[in-house]
Amino acid sequence: MKDRLRRSRLFLPGNNPKILQDGGVFEADSVILDLEDAVSIDSKDEARILVKWALRDVDFRNSEVLIRVNSPETEFFEADMGVISDRVDGIVLPKAESKEDVKNVASVLDEIETEKGIGREIIIIPTIESALGVLNAYDIARLPRVAALAFGAEDFTKDIGAERTPEGTELWYARSAIVTAAKAAGVQALDTVYPSVHDDEGLRRETETARRMGFDGKSAIHPNQIGIIHDVFTPSREEIKKALAVMQAIKEAEEKKSGVIALNGRMIDRPVVERAKKVIRLAEAAGIDTEHLPEE
Amino acid sequence: MPVNAVGREIPREIDGRKLIPFGGAYARGPEGKLHAPKIPPLIKPGESKVLPSLDDAIEKAGIADGMTLSFHHHFRDGDMLVNMVLERLAKKGIKDLKMAHIALFPVHEPLVKYIADGTITSTEGSLNGPTGRAISMGKMKGLATLRSHGGRVRAVKAGEIEIDVNFIAAPTADTYGNCNGFWGKSPCGPLSYAMIDAEHADKVIAVTDNLVPYPALPFSIPQTHVDYVTTVEKIGIPEKIVSGTTQITRSPARLKIARLAIQLIKDAGYIKDGMSFQAGAGGVSLAATKFLGDMMRKEGVKGSFAMGGTTRYVTDLLKEGLIKTIFDAQLFDLYALESLRNNPDHVEVSSEMYADIHTKGAIVNRVDVSFLGATEIDIDFNVNVNTHSDGWLLHGTGGHQDVAAGSDFTMILAPSFRGRIPVITDRVTTVTTPGESIDAIVTERGIAINPRREDILDRLHGSPLPIMPIESLLKKVQKITGAPEKPEFEDRIVAVIEYRDGTVIDVLRQKKMR
Amino acid sequence: MKIIRDATAGSGEKSDCTVTVRPSEQLKIDITGSSAAFFRETMIDEVKSVLEELGVTAGIIKVTDRGALPFCMKARVEAALRRGAEE
């Protein structure tokens, strides 16, 4: 499903059985079985086989199952794509720089879907992690199969010759550009990982920034980061109340068969409606019963 | 053979000892009078209790074949006294001793040879590690009896364990026998488990590496119980008390268990002013304690007391004012020691006050929520902490039965499998604690509530927690691991697992070697 | 598939296992390690299922376990076989 919630995407190193076996336990919106950076060159083959068996046997529960393959330019790409089965929801494509990069992967997916009889569309989440990728982000985001653009800050910083700082000022333009491109193309924008596993406060701050910038989710390199990320993406009570009021106004307009939706005497346009729907979805994902909001 | 209330066959008698089958957590009331030691010998003014060496103390105490000796376990894997004493007794050729220690640890491996050569022929305490393994292999002539902390106190008071000589590893002792664990070069904190033995033993020897002028304060063990005082170079290694348990687990699956447990307590309605809890050591318990503190802070709740296993995380809650009192029977780190020394709201309690069922009310009865561990849990909620799933005797009971029976809401926090070995099983290898005392099992893959607790199930109605019947949890786990082969045993019974009231909840047979 | 050289896959980490394969005329499966006491027969069957799937009929397969779940052990067997097989 292209527009499912992706507040959190948890990376699971592809050659680590201890983490893979619990992949479904941490309630990440998506899990990424990683064949790329988390796997050393010598272990690419056994990681691929381990991921293949994990896809057969491990229950990833409600998490969307994504595979991060090695770049199409590497010798590993073709074999990596071989692990795709009907248990896979999507591909995370590293270092996406042009629409050709994504189109090539899409045509491989066309073949695999036919060959393996997979009756649904496997999505692609291109990772933008270079200057060129940022500039081409909109063209990439518009392609079929693309469900979201992800940002990869580590490689991007290296590519532009910037220094990685805790405040992330050097990433400001790329983040904004990716959110803008993604939203213009009608797909999600997903922020980079927060690399300091033990710095909960730093993770919270960075996730809050990402959310305020318009990102729909953040990637996690450790399961303990999931709770904080979800917490940040949980709407406040005020936001939920406002969204509920909008939904009520829609309902009333429908009942009156009125084409115009109004709330407190002001007209509501489509983006506001969409936003309200999303707030309700996020609240429900966080386990909040929006029909019975508790009193303060 | 009679079958007890948890479905285990219990022989009527072993080696002339009559066994009473377990009938339920509160099925058996006490009878008779308390056991008493001999009236102490006359000690006149001016007489000295100080003896020049441990050898002299052993000589003076008149230890002979067939006697019962007791030791506390406050140093856990850092204890040095048990090995020192047993080595000397073995050298003297003394045989047929009954070891009524509280608990042995891997450091006590030298006792394996004394078990095999008949120096020790029966044990009355917990066995953690090599000594338990030796007994599983059938190396000991007589029986091992395993009891809970409270159950052991009860057995001493009832005269079922008659202690001839009690050795107290005393971090501080004065020349007239007052002892404490607060000070000295080898502090261990409370001497809770030594108290009852000192009261009931015929001879009591305080062995210290910090002999101080009279009087030593506080006197956790008073002079009135102590016959002799002697010194050795070192009695124990405090750093080894911790045995690697002072760090919060970093395993994401275990942290998830701790988080689920705290959310469960909250949804079940236990986060409220005046709440009390039992804290433990071990990575998951520490995490649960920390998260409980976070929850209390968030909800603006002030608790009453925590019963230790005391660690830094519990003492932090006291310091912050989130709880009013710590009752301490065993501490696990130096933060807890500092707190015990300096904070008047952190107090040492005897193991009797902590856990004994045959008192006029133990502290465990006042505990609201407790977090315990398990090696195995079955679909009747019975818990095994004594044996591994392969049938080796490897752990003592500790306070498990006492806390589970006493506290209002007892949770088992455990992973659903370790390695490939399932923790949730259809039938535990050995029953330590009956299912009737267990209210919830919290694993990373789901929570099961004991169906007896209809009140809790009602309160949890509508909770978003992954609550499921225990049978579903079992199925889930078996789908992942497969069903293991059951261990095989010989006919010979090597250990009796007592319930805290003196009845027998299970027996353990000699392990069959392939 | 035929084993033509010694090969190893997996690791000695917890929840993993090390699988070593060696060429041989006979088929021999050797299981040691933490789960062996509980799952020996099951584990032998699981190894055999992978051998069958890959058409391997001979060789010495040695599994040293540290608590691997079935999916992991099967993956390590497959990886070792592929590494030890003809190109």
pLDDT of residue B333: 87
- Taking contacts as CB-CB distances below 8 angstroms, the residues of chain A near C15 are 17-18, 21
Which of A18, A46, A57 has the CB atom closest to C70's CB atom? A57
Over range A185-194, report the average pLDDT.
97
Give the pLDDT confidence score for residue B282 in this predicted structure.
77
Preferred mutation among A22, A57, A234 to probe B, highest tally of B CBs within 10 A: A22
Shortest distance, CA C73 to any CA of chain A (angstroms): 9
A98 touches chain B (CB under 8 A): no
CA of B485 vs chain C CAs: smallest distance (Å): 5
Distance CA C28, CA B331 (A): 52
Q: Which chain A residues have a beta carbon less than 8 Å from that of C33?
A: none
pLDDT at B71: 98
Q: How far is C18 from chain B (nearest CA, A)?
A: 14
List the one residue out of B100, B54, B101 whose CA is nearest residue B74: B101
Contacts of B445 in chain A (CB under 8 A): 25
Q: What is the pLDDT of residues B253-304, one digit of tens each?
A: 999 999 999 999 999 999 999 999 998 777 788 899 999 999 999 999 999 9
Cα–Cα distance measured from residue B422 to residue B389, given in angstroms and rounded to the nearest whole number: 9
Residue of A nearest to C16 (CA): A17
Minimal CA separation from C12 to chain A, in Å: 11
Residue B113 CA: distances (Å) to CA of B64, B81, B101, B108, C87: 19, 17, 17, 10, 56
Residue in chain C closest to B481 (alpha carbons) equals: C69
CB contact under 8 A, A45 and C82: yes
Encode burial over A111-142: b for 16+ CB neighbours within 10 A, e otherwise.
ebbeeeebeebbbbbbbbbbeebbebbbebbb
Q: Name the CA dihedral angle for A162, A168, A173, A175, rounded to a multiple of 10 degrees.
A: 120
The confidence score (pLDDT) of residue B245 equals 56
Lowest mean pLDDT among B26-40, B173-187, B350-364, B421-435: B26-40
Do the chains contact at B421 and C35, CB–CB below 8 Å?
yes
* Whether pLDDT at B173 is above 70: yes
Domains annotated for chain B, with CATH where assigned, are: 48-240+491-511 (3.40.1080.10), 252-489 (3.40.1080.10)
Q: Determine the residue of chain A that is closest to B462 in CA distance.
A: A289
Give me B8's structure tokens: 């285990």
Of B420, B484, B485, the CB nearest to C68: B420
Q: Is the pLDDT of residue A200 over 80?
A: yes
Domains of chain A, residue spans: 8-232, 237-292
Number of H helices, E strands in chain B: 14, 30
pLDDT averaged over every residue in chain A: 94
- pLDDT confidence of B246, banded at 50, 70, 90? low
Mean pLDDT, residues B7-21 taken together: 95
Q: What 3-state DSSP class applies to B203?
A: strand
pLDDT at B98 over 80: yes
Domain A8-232 has CATH 3.40.50.300: no
Chains A–B, number of C-beta pairs less than 8 Å apart = 21
* Cα separation, A37 vs A31, whole angstroms: 15
Give the rounded percent of residues in chain B with a pLDDT score beyond 90. 91
Is the pLDDT at C31 greater than 90? The verdict is yes
Dump strand ranges (E) for B330-399: 346-348, 369-372, 376-378, 383-384
Taking all residues of chain B, what is their mean pLDDT, rounded to a whole number? 95
Tokens of A81: 């794509």
* pLDDT value for B240: 87
What is the rounded distance in angstroms from the CA atom of residue B388 to the CA atom of residue B381? 17
**DSSP secondary structure letter of residue C17:** E
The nearest CA of chain A is from the CA of C24 a distance in Å of 23
Give the count of beta carbons closer than 10 Å to the beta carbon of residue B90: 19
- Closest to C50 in 3D by CA, of C75, C84, C14, C29: C75
What does the pLDDT read at residue A296? 57
Contact A18 C78 (CB under 8 A): no
C70 contacts in chain A (CB < 8 Å): 57
Are residues C35 and B389, on separate chains, in Cβ contact within 8 Å? no
- B140 touches B104 (CB < 8 A): no
Neighbours of chain A (3+ CB pairs under 8 A): B, C
Query: What one-character DSSP code corresponds to residue C85?
Result: B
Helix (H, G, I), strand (E, B) or coil at B386: coil
For residue B179, pLDDT over 80 is answered with yes
List the single residue in A with minimal CA-CA distance to C18: A46
Q: Find the mean pLDDT for residues A238-261.
A: 87
What gap in Å lies between CA A49 and CA A46, rounded to an integer?
5
Among the partner-chain residues C41, C65, C69, the one whose CB lies closest to the CB of B481 is C69
Residues of A in contact with C10 (CB under 8 A): 46
Which of A83-87, A245-249, C31-35 is predicted least confidently?
A: A245-249
Answer whether residue B514 shows pLDDT above 80: no
Inform me whether the pLDDT recorded for B243 exceeds 60. Answer: no
Compute the average pLDDT of residues A71-79: 96
Task: Report which DSSP code applies to A235.
Answer: P
Q: Do A21 and C83 touch (CB under 8 A)?
A: no
Query: C14 contacts in A (CB within 8 Å)?
Result: 18
**What is the pLDDT at residue A254?**
84
- Which residues of chain C make contact with B481, given a CB cutoff of 8 A? 69-70
Q: In chain B, what residues touch C69 (CB-CB under 8 Å)?
A: 420, 480-481
- Tens of pLDDT along B456-493? 999 999 898 999 999 999 999 999 999 999 999 999 99
- The C-alpha atoms of residue A184 and residue A138 are separated, in whole angstroms, by 7
B residues 238-277 lying closer than 8 A (beta carbon) to A: 252-253, 255-256, 259
What are chain C's domains? 7-84 (3.30.230.10)
pLDDT at A278 over 80: yes
A26, B445: Cβ pair inside 8 Å? no
**What pLDDT is stored for residue B242 in this prediction?**
65
User: Contact, A89 vs A66, CB < 8 A?
Assistant: yes
Query: Looking at residues A81-104, what average pLDDT do you find?
Result: 96
Q: What is the pLDDT of residues A133-161, one digit of tens each?
A: 999 999 999 999 999 999 999 999 999 99
Mean pLDDT of A103-111: 96
* Residue B369 three-state SS: strand
